[in-house]
Chain A
Amino acid sequence: MADPMRVRAAENGGIVDVKILMKHDMESGQRKDAAGKVIPAWFISNINVKANGKDVLNGQFGPAVSKDPFLNFKYKGAKGDKIVVSWVDTKGDKRSDEATAS
């Protein structure tokens, strides 16, 4: 199981600002190890964010997204919204974390 994400959500004037920090190596498939062998690509490919069970953002990443991906977006919502962030990587690993809008 992958490491937990950090999710912060703050409501201000009807807009919820969501900041997500995922923990993932995001191996690009371009790097080589000490022996000169290419390290195979391994990265988060799909991310989904739901607020109170409704999709608020869907994203697809390529290997060009930085290690420990950061994501910031905003949606129309209210304090107390239950936000669930989940991702899937190219090896099929998954992770889901929750936060409450404050």
Chain B
Amino acid sequence: MNQQRRSLLKYSAVFGLMASAGLISLAQAQEWNKAAFEGKSLDDVFKILGAGSPDKSAAVTLNAPDIAENGAVVPVGITTTLKAEQLAILVEKNPSALAAQFFIPAGTEPFVTTRIKMGQTSNVYALVKADGKWSMAVKEIKVTLGGCGG
């Protein structure tokens, strides 16, 4: 296990070098936000994203089922009428709250659907950054079978 940890460290070092040497394109080098993805609680992630305490907004819609039978595959979608630059999906009770983050260039609709894992019944947060301000929508999804454990 330690071996693996070493090699992981090595990889990230190599990646850093490649990025600084311009070997990977800018988009790919858009640094994986390690701190944010390792943030345990919602507040950690909010802080790292610079979201403060986002306001609930009716302009943000979280499309998700009320009950997910299988926590390993929970379809989640975000749409908003705001001019979104970033979208993020957070699961309050997962080991790390942040599930995915999207950057929306001009010309792309503020609409993303994906599938996430949930360890247990939890509130799911859809965060939207528009005009430098974060807004969110919250929905509780009940999970009958967890998708994170073994």
What is the interface of chain A, defined by CB distance below 8 A to chain B? 15, 26, 28, 30-33, 37-38, 40, 45-46, 48, 50, 54-67, 69-77, 86, 88, 90-92
9 contacts between A and B (CB under 8 A): A46-B30, A58-B27, A58-B105, A64-B91, A64-B94, A72-B77, A73-B112, A75-B107, A76-B109
Quick one: given A30-B95, A72-B112, are A59 and B74 in contact (CB under 8 Å)? no
In the complex with contacts A40-B1, A92-B11, A92-B15, A66-B107 CB distance below 8 A: no
In the complex, chain A residues whose CB is within 8 Å of the CB of B28: 46, 48, 86, 88
* B117 A64 Cβ-Cβ under 8 A: yes
B15 touches A61 (CB 8 A): no
Q: Is A31 within 8 A of B149, CB to CB? A: yes
Residues of B within 8 A of A46 (CB): 27-28, 30, 32
A56 contacts B108, CB within 8 Å? Answer: yes
How far in angstroms is the closest Cβ of chain A from B149? 6
- Contact count A vs B, C-beta below 8 Å: 134
Question: B105 and A65: CB pair below 8 A?
Answer: no
Interfacial residues of chain B within 1-39, with CB under 8 A of chain A in the complex:
1, 4-5, 8, 11, 14-15, 24-25, 27-28, 30, 32-33, 37
Q: Known contacts A56-B108, A59-B100, A76-B108: does B113 contact A65 (CB below 8 Å)?
A: no
Verify A60–B115 contact, CB threshold 8 A.
no
Q: State in angstroms the CA–CA spacing of A23 and B128 once bound together.
A: 27
Residues from chain B with a CB closer than 8 A to the CB of A48 are 25, 27-28
- Contacting residue for A58 out of B8, B24, B103, B113, CB 8 A: B103
Among candidates B105, B113, B149, residue contacting A57 with C-beta atoms closer than 8 Å: B105
* Given A32-B150, A92-B14; A65-B103 close (CB under 8 Å): no
Question: CB-CB < 8 A to B37: which residues of A?
Answer: 60, 62-63
List residues 98-150 of chain B with CB under 8 A from any CB of chain A. Answer: 98-105, 107-109, 111-119, 147-150
A7 CA to B99 CA, complexed, in Å = 22
- Is B114's CB under 8 angstroms from A60's CB? no
